[in-house]
Amino acid sequence: MAVRIENETFYLETENTLYQMKADCRGVLKHLWYGAKTGQDMEYLLEYPDVAFSGNPYDAGRDRTYSLDTMPLEYAAEGVGDFRLSAVTVRYEDGTSALDLRYESSRIVPGKYSIPGLPAVYADEDEAQTLEICLKDAVSGIRVILKYGVMPECDIITRSAVIENNGGHPVVIDRAHSLCLDIPYGQWEWVHFHGRHLKERTPERRPLFHGVQQSASGRGISSHHQNPTVLLCEEGCTETSGTCIGAALVYSGCFQTQIEYDQLNQTRLVMGSNSERFSWELAPGERFYTPEAVLSMTDAGFETLSHRFHRVIREHICRGKYKRMERPVLLNSWEAAYFDFDEEKLVEIARGAAELGVDMLVMDDGWFGHRDNDEAGLGDWYVNRFKLASGLESLVGRINAMGMDFGIWFEPEMISEDSDLFRAHSEWAIRIPGRDPVRGRYQLVLDISRADVRDYLFEAVSRILNSANIAYVKWDFNRSVSDWYSELLPADRQGEMPHRFVLGLYDLLERLTQAFPDVLFEGCCGGGGRFDAGILYYCPQIWCSDDTDAYERTQIQYGTSFFYPVSSVGSHVSAVPNHQTGRSIPIRSRSVTAMAGSFGYELDVNRLTEEEKEDVKAQIRAFKEYGPLIHNGKYYRLSNPFEEQYAVWEYVSADAGQILVQGMIFRTEPNSVRSLIRLRGLDPQKNYRLREDGSIYSAGALMNAGIPLPKAWGDYVPVEFYLEAIEE
């Protein structure tokens, strides 16, 4: 059993971990342990002195050592003597905020819970168990139901909370976090993934300092600037050794991750919706559901933790036809043509691509309304007849006749002021009454918390998808959200708008993906501004970054790989000089970097030299051979591109019979020192043959001594080795 209860002590066990908590004699739910299996009750660790200025619950009587301000709690609330970060805050009509949560009941449910209106990990009954623990505030009648999904084989525990108002008056929730994790032992370091547009998910590692540290987004999206993932690790933790804990929020809006290192050198991690962009009125009898947090820990280093998150996202968050199916090699028109195209230009690009073996042409921004630049047309989802005079069906038919599929770009959540939609429904745009709106990329944002707006978008997008044989949708979002206001909400409930916006997005995506199950949806937000597990529930891949420079992408994809599987990464070969950096990198180096994802091209192949075209043909053949290994194999980071002069990574098949090593040497030095790359994940009992020259190596040699990187001549030199186990 993954979950068991003994004397109100709760044991959540996976293959390699134990999560333990206990409802004590006063009904306080304490966190006891999250770590390796110990085989015993861990409450003996919780011995606390009388700590001055840390008060005591009234029912503790004369026991001054019993304080909610010092002990590890499973779900901390505000206003009852714990002065650390709270996971939940509720405000009453009289302005008070106390919430004294005590244990009421628990139950074990087969399978994995789901969350109404929100994406969540899913699993069959034989793959998971759910533990529900009900906590109650006796004065207000408010209940908090903590939900734990335990997936033993995956070494994953999920967390979510349900807040119920069982009192007689409305209350306002000011904070409702999904995860609260107290760690009363150890010295921890914090890894978060920061960045900016074109520079997403850069890992930053720092020792915890006393006080509160935070990564968060208030932009209405998970953002380029911070990612809703976090790592805690012990000092000295590496890829292959050391204790680390990871958490990922399955949410695509304003989020908040906070860590407090307290007066007793204890660590508290809370994670959920951003409390600075959140409030929610809960009427009597109503429930509020928090987004889900996915949690794992290991004492075997970052690599093992990454493998667990890759597996759970690929197999238990991604859904639909393309969850495991190999993705088409596509050519996107954006960097090939930008807004300057018509039917004949697209057909000519497609003809050249088809000759090279490309599977799909994707028509990006500019095909709709009166859209010749980024100042007009968003919201008018009908074909621009000046560009596509014969209509969409004619263009798609011509592309299909070449043996290629067709994809199309949308930005459904946006509206241009110069659009028919804005002229008809300006009230649908998010803006504060009496104020000029804040623009981003000359555009405003639609209030998709409104059902009528979602209905319009569903019908408009469906009309296009039904009008021709469209196999792929790129779903973009090109600005941060401000001016939070909805005319459908009263003044005292405008704080609900950011979360209602995300719920509206999920509702619209659910309707469209269910209506068009054969269409491959790719998420995008100016590249990687909404790269999160919530989007991956609807879209099995996300455009990783608008930066297509292959050198830059080695770093962006490195940071992304700590939580997200390669199959979720949208990555393309683009033209040189690169349109974001001006850097020129050989096409073979661009291709091996782009293969670490859903492979494609972002250029006009007709402008390539004949030699480059032959390279493209070879790249596509290679990707179609390696694709199953790349997308479904275990991924290993063999170098750190932020610290070394090369980026090298490895894929290993489930049976360790196939090994692919790829990467790039950034710069060449004269009289250079030889570099050896040690492989990982091989079967130690096997020998391996290197395809390139037939050399045979033992697994022990490859993993303990390594294999030399190629001798480099010039900069940005590609690295690629393919090895197969030899049958004895």
Angle 315-243-559 (CA atoms, 0-180°, nearest 5)?
Answer: 55
Rounded to whole angstroms, the Cα distance separating 366 from 459 reads: 20
The single residue of 260, 292, 532, 549 carrying the catalytic annotation is: 532
Q: How far apart are CA 410 and CA 378, in angstroms?
A: 9
**DSSP secondary structure of 696-725:** EEEHHHHHHT-EEPPPP-SSSEEEEEEEEE
Chain Cα centroid distance, residue 259: 20
Q: Encoding tokens for residue 498?
A: 């950011």
Q: Which of 189, 612, 683, 715 is catalytic?
A: 612
Most distant CA atoms of the chain, gap in Å: 86
Distance in angstroms between the alpha carbons of the first and the last residue of the chain: 40
Between CA 247 and CA 677 the distance in angstroms is 30
CA distance 267 to 254: 23
Are the C-beta atoms of 75 and 145 separated by less than 8 Å?
Answer: no
Is 532 labeled as catalytic in the residue annotation? yes
Question: In the beta sheet, which residues pair with residue 150?
Answer: 129, 157
Are 659 and 633 within 8 A, CB to CB? no
Q: Tokens representing 190?
A: 């914090």
Burial class (CB in 10 A: 0-12, 13-18, 19+), 530: buried
Q: Return d(Cα 497, Cα 448) in angstroms, integer.
A: 10
Instruction: Indicate the helix (H) or strand (E) that contains 176.
Output: strand 171-183
Please name the residues in contact with 401: beta carbons below 8 A apart, sequence gap of 6 or more: none
Q: Which of 200, 288, 183, 169 is nearest to 245 (CA)?
A: 183
Query: Hey, what amino acid is at 205?
Result: R
Of 556, 558, 560, 637, the closest CA to residue 301 belongs to 637
Identify whether 372 is a catalytic site residue. no
Which residues are CB-contacts of 533 (< 8 A; sequence separation ≥ 6)?
119, 228, 248, 249, 250, 251, 294, 313, 317, 563, 564
Residues annotated as catalytic (active site), given as ranges? 532, 612
